[in-house]
């Protein structure tokens, strides 16, 4: 059974930083691309960042480019999202996801690319 468990969310002031972690179990983590999505209250889930199985390729949503960095440690079965220069509009529940197949290309920005999801972690940025 595949499990994804996010952690690291919380309350932070605008301009601050947080690092989210997502620990995976139940499948060969290193074979699959991983991603972070977020969902703000009353809005649809939105793509944040994705990373290939090797970490050599990554994609970012336009609103987080230059501020957020996705990374992974396959030895620890964990993917990270370093969030810097946080803004109130980054407030959302953040979800990690694991890809359906062991391939990675531009469709990795779409939620349908992923078949396993974590329960989410709340990030709140105060102004």
Cβ count within 10 A of residue 17? 11
Judged on CB neighbours under 10 Å (0-12, 13-18, 19+), 37 is buried
Percent of the chain with pLDDT over 70: 100
Task: Characterize the bridge pairing of strands 121-126 and 58-60.
Answer: unpaired
- Does residue 27 surpass a pLDDT of 90? no
pLDDT digit string (tens) for 40-51? 999 999 999 999
pLDDT-wise least confident of 34-38, 61-65, 105-109, 114-118: 105-109
CA-derived radius of gyration, the chain: 13
Alpha carbon distance 122, 38 (integer Å): 9
The Cα angle at residue 79 between residues 124 and 37, in degrees rounded to 5: 45
């Amino acid at each position: 059974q595949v499990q994804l468990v996010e952690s690291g969310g919380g309350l932070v002031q605008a301009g601050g930083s947080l690092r989210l972690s997502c620990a995976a179990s139940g499948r060969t983590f290193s074979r699959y691309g991983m991603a972070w999505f977020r969902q703000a209250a009353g809005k649809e889930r939105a793509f944040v960042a994705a990373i290939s199985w090797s970490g050599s390729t990554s994609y970012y949503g336009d609103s987080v480019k230059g501020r957020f960095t996705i990374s992974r440690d396959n030895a620890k079965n964990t993917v990270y999202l370093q969030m810097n220069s946080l803004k109130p509009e980054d407030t959302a529940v953040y979800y990690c996801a694991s890809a359906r197949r062991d391939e990675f290309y531009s469709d990795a920005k779409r939620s349908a690319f992923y078949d396993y999801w974590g329960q989410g972690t709340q990030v709140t940025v105060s102004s």
